[in-house]
Copies of this chain bind each other. A is one copy, B any other.
Amino acid sequence: MTGTSLDGIDTALCRIHTIDTTITLELCEYMCYEYPSEIKKEIQFLLNEPSPISIYSHIHHELSRVYAQCVRQLCSSAKFDIQTISAIGIHGQTLWHDPQQQRCTLQAGNGEVLAKILSIPVVSDFRSADVALGGTGAPLVPIFDKEFFSSDTNTHIALNIGGMANITVLPPRHSATPVIACDTGPGNVLIDALCMKYYNVPFDTEGKYAHNGLLIQELLQELQNHPFYKTPLPKSTGREVFGQQYADFLCDSFSNHHPNNLIRTVTELTAWHITDHIQRLSDNPHTVIVAGGGKHNIFLMNRLQELLPQTLFCSSESFGINADAKEAMCFAYLSYRTLSGLPSNIPSVTGASREAVLGSISLP
């Protein structure tokens, strides 16, 4: 799994068992590799400049050679014989995603190349099918949330706090209520941008800056007025809306305040839009299961719990899923579903016209 921020290549080595109809997913090894600088530069160029098609062709093949190296290292560090791996799922690097107007999506990283280099089956291109069926092609994590975080009796919510924050509302298993999911707003992206700007650190470790700051009520109210929060479902957002530009704007507008107060306030914003969406989209959820980098922000986690005192906030690790490895594990699980002929999109989430087996299969 590689995210749009190009910050690394997440790899998870998983063991998947099926006993009767119960699937168990066990993490054997998790590693995040740095992007080799040459291909990272090539991708950044392609994203920012009109480019000859040869550049995309090269990235599409070369990225699979990079992935092959990551898989080899992952197996080696886990002391795991690479030839016993059943399959590899690759999300690939998203280079374009416009399901609505142009009806297309593009992830670089060629399944055929990786499968043949390693002699291991590969599943790739998970999003195109849902887009072809009129869906948004995202999020794809809800089927994973449904499998591993649902309860037989209660409504659960899976919350991921990455650059953006998103939730999946999971009705009790076997309930007729459809699963729904959406982005709720910026997760760590604004907090991280302020930490980098004022302290030259990539994130607010354990939420200490926020803890030492005071809430600027006027700023919070202004941020809460962003139209995204009131937009009806389905909705998603990204760094093009809540990114560096937005962070710069709010710093400039409130430059007379202490950095910790600003960090405190954007942390409060994150806690507010998450709990606000949870309350609007579900009646009294029993449990919220948290994954993603934001889980390590203790101050943020406390604020979430305080804002929804009736609900239990717990880490995905209580459900056996490593909070950092979750997204990478998800694509291992999706490739398992594809090779089992099982659909992975949820039409009530993406708006697709039907369920579909996602991803193209490359034989070894």
Measuring CB to CB, which residues of chain A are less than 8 angstroms from any residue of chain B?
Answer: 46-47, 49-54, 56-58, 60-62, 64, 95-96, 98, 102-106, 110-113, 115-117, 124-125, 128-129, 131-133, 338, 341, 356-364
Instruction: Evaluate whether A110 and B96 lie within 8 angstroms (CB atoms) in the complex, with A132-B64, A363-B357 already known.
Output: no
A selection of 18 A-B contacts at a CB cut-off of 8 Å is A50-B52, A51-B51, A54-B102, A57-B105, A57-B106, A60-B106, A61-B103, A62-B104, A111-B360, A112-B132, A112-B360, A115-B129, A116-B133, A116-B356, A124-B360, A357-B364, A360-B362, A361-B362
Instruction: Evaluate whether A129 and B106 lie within 8 angstroms (CB atoms) in the complex, with A50-B49, A53-B46, A54-B96 already known.
Output: no
Taking a contact as CB atoms under 8 Å apart, the answer to whether B113 and A132 are in contact is: yes
A286 to chain B, nearest CB (A): 36
Q: Which of B47, B49, B112, B125 contacts A359 (CB 8 A)?
A: B112
A53 surroundings in chain B (CB, below 8 A): 46-47, 51, 56, 95-96, 106
The complex places the Cα of A302 from the Cα of B359 at a distance, in Å, of 51
* Copy total for this chain: 2
A33 to chain B, nearest CB (A): 20
- Kindly report which residue of chain B lies nearest to residue A125, judged by CB atoms: B112
The complex places the Cα of A254 from the Cα of B305 at a distance, in Å, of 87
Known: A53-B56, A56-B106. 12 other contacts (CB 8 A): A47-B53, A50-B52, A56-B56, A57-B96, A60-B106, A61-B131, A64-B132, A112-B128, A113-B129, A116-B133, A124-B360, A357-B363
